[in-house]
Amino acid sequence: MTTQIKICGLSTPETIDAAVDAGATHVGFVHFEKSPRHLPLEDAAKLRARVPETVKLVLVTSALQPEELARAFDVIRPDVLQFHGGETVEWMKLVKDTVGCETWRALGLREKATLERSKKFIGVCDRLLFDAPAKALPGGNGTSFQWDLLSGWEPYMDWALAGGLTPDNVADAIAQTGAPLVDASSGIESAPGVKDVDLIKAFCEAARQV
């Protein structure tokens, strides 16, 4: 099975085009003001039209208030909503049932017990995104976690791997974990929030060759 690829934190036409041309299956817009990858809704709406129907657009949010989330969804019309904050199970289920689009939940993976606790998201979201534990930001900190925490784990729902992935380590990450989808952000930047077209291409090539 070909590994799916998400290039996250895009904010320019050039980087969107680079991700699409390199074979990314998903592109991500970050709507979180504290992040260097934050994309205001007005800018996101303009860039939305550049994403082809063959590529899924993921809107990454972190603990937005209901009215803020509703406005963001209406403006951007993403294919996927990614929750990356302290959203409750009840709230996530309500959003999923209301908007009717695919939803993901990001989880910082520090210990194997997190995998057992994550069963509470069965039926609540469509995919789990295993990331490094939160630091200054909920995600996009450029750090990875111990991939062997996933050793022997038997997935009970779709999942993805994030956290410090780069063109240099993504092949090894896929080989070790069997990740069906890999998600890169800070590892393909020349500076915080500044995506590098060449690194995007290199990342997608390395992931596709596994």
Whether CATH 3.20.20.70 fits 4-208? yes
Per DSSP, what are the bridge partners of residue 7? 27, 184
Tens of pLDDT, residues 21-43: 999 999 999 999 989 999 999 99
Q: Are 8 and 60 in contact (CB under 8 A)?
A: yes
- In this predicted structure, the answer to whether residue 187 has a pLDDT above a threshold of 80 is yes
Q: Are 180 and 1 in contact (CB under 8 A)?
A: yes
pTM metric for this prediction: 0.93
Mean pLDDT, the chain, rounded, equals 93
